[in-house]
Structure 1
């Protein structure tokens, strides 16, 4: 099952992704696969699918899949811990609204706030550009 999706402020290497996800789930890092294609998913207890969309901010997308039997922390708590471990902010879908341009931005300090991304950039260029709050930062 999908645990969560996130867009990272800047790219993180596969080894760091593996170690950090293992820490979050309290499992050995060898039980976490990091792949760059859905077709590469096997039967690991946890898998992180990475999609790199370029060099812009928030262009590395990760989707974390976990086995049904694996207990997972609450998504916002896990995202805050990941952001602190990566020392980078990340964007999560804002499930509290139907607005497709609303995201939860988790800062590198683990604080979260709701931000809006530029609709044109997302729709036309598939880029996450923070429009609000003013200044484009979380």
Structure 2
């Protein structure tokens, strides 16, 4: 069963992910599976699907799955808490969907020091190129003046 999706600012290794999840959930390092294709989903207590993102924004999407029989970890930690622990454990900024907003571009940016901020991602870049890049100041992206001049 899917636990949560996260978008990480820079590339992280399978070893880093296993260590962070192990510290967060208490599962043994070897009980955490790292996969690159959903068809490889296993019956490990926790599985992380790692997907590389296009260059120009955040680097990877990490999707976490928890086996139903190990779902107690999901009841102990909210998604926000789990993502914050992930950010701190990996030492990178992490974004998750802002479920309090109706906008599909609204995210929560969790920093590696324990802080969080509501942000928006650039809708054009995400929709057209799959690039997760923050809008500046939370406002819709406007191309620089030099790009709009003939």
Q: TM-score when scaled to structure 2? A: 0.84
- The C-alpha deviation readout for 1:91-119, integer Å capped at 9, x for no partner, is 10111111011001101112111101111
C-alpha distance after superposition, 1:26-56 (max 9, x if no partner): 1101110000000111211110000012443
**RMSD (Å), alpha carbons:** 1.3
Partner of 1:59: 59
Q: 1:15 corresponds to which residue?
A: 15
Contact 1:8 1:57 in 2 (8 A): no
- Gaps in structure 2 of 5+ consecutive residues: 139-150
Show the counterpart of 1:85: 89
| Paired position in structure 2 for 1:38 | 38
* Greater C-alpha Rg: 2
Looking at secondary structure, tell me which structure has more strand per residue. 1
SS at match of 2:135: strand
Unaligned runs of 5+ in 1: none
Aligned mate of 2:122, from 118, 122, 131: 118
The count of residues paired between Structure 1 and Structure 2 equals 134
The 4+ residue runs of structure 1 with deviation greater than 3 A are 54-57
* Higher relative helix content: 2
> Compared with structure 1, are the counterparts of its residues 61 and 108 closer, same or farther at alpha carbon in structure 2 (3 Å cutoff)?
same
Task: Describe the SS at the equivalent of 2:100.
Answer: coil
Tell me if the contact between 1:2 and 1:63 (Cα under 8 Å) persists in the aligned partners: yes
CA contact 1:35–1:49 (8 Å) conserved in 2: yes
